Structure 1
Amino acid sequence: MATGSVKWFNNAKGFGFITQGGEDDIFVHYSQIEGEGFKTLKQGEVVEFELRRGPKGLHAAKVLRSHEHDYSM
């Protein structure tokens, strides 16, 4: 599992991006967020995920909220 922090996430559109310190941003779709209830992420939130390469580039799958919370961004 890779670790990164949420760069931004748009609830209305259901997607956003995760950053891994200087590397390319990673696309994340709400359907890949694990857990019950409303699936959203907060800017700066630390997440763990599987990194996948698709036809449009890198994207996150099986996104889990980490026990660490860094909302400092």
Structure 2
Amino acid sequence: MGRGGLKPGTVKWFDAERGFGFIIPDEEDGKDVWFHVTRVGPANDPEGSNAPIITNGDRVLFQAVEHDKGPKALRVVSMVEREDICPTCGHWL
């Protein structure tokens, strides 16, 4: 995977306590992509400065690069707009 544009996928699982998870790319033969919570931003904050809580099954856009242990997300943008998440800080209300 190169440094191309954002690609769609779905959060396979995310462990909030450990701060990381995996994305299943929409591409048919795409490998699961590792991501860290610090790389996640809500739909209304594409730069990720107010990272939301992300959950399993969330739709995301991501940018990934190949890493020695497999694909790694440099940026993850949540496509989910939740009413129970503060639009300012991105935390649960």
**1:20 equivalent in alignment to 2:7:** no
Distance across 2 between alignment mates of 1:3 and 1:50? 9
2:53 paired with 1:45: no
Report which of the two has the higher share of strand. 1
Cα displacement (A) at 1:20: 1.8
Query: What is the TM-score of this pair, normalised by structure 1?
Result: 0.77
- Indicate the SS of the match to 1:31: helix
1:53-68 matches, cutoff 5 A = 53-67=66-80
Q: CA deviation at 1:40?
A: 3.0
Q: TM-score under structure 2 normalisation?
A: 0.63
Amino acid in structure 1 at the alignment position of 2:66: R
Query: What is the Cα deviation at residue 57 of structure 1?
Result: 1.3
Q: What's the RMSD between the two structures over aligned residues?
A: 2.1
Q: Is the 8 A contact 2:58 2:80 kept in 1?
A: no
> How far off its partner does 1:68 sit?
7.7
Matched, 1:36 2:50: yes
* Percentage of matched positions with identical amino acids: 29
| Structure 1, unaligned runs of 5 or more | none
Which of 1 and 2 has greater Rg? Answer: 2
| Matched position secondary structure for 1:24 | coil
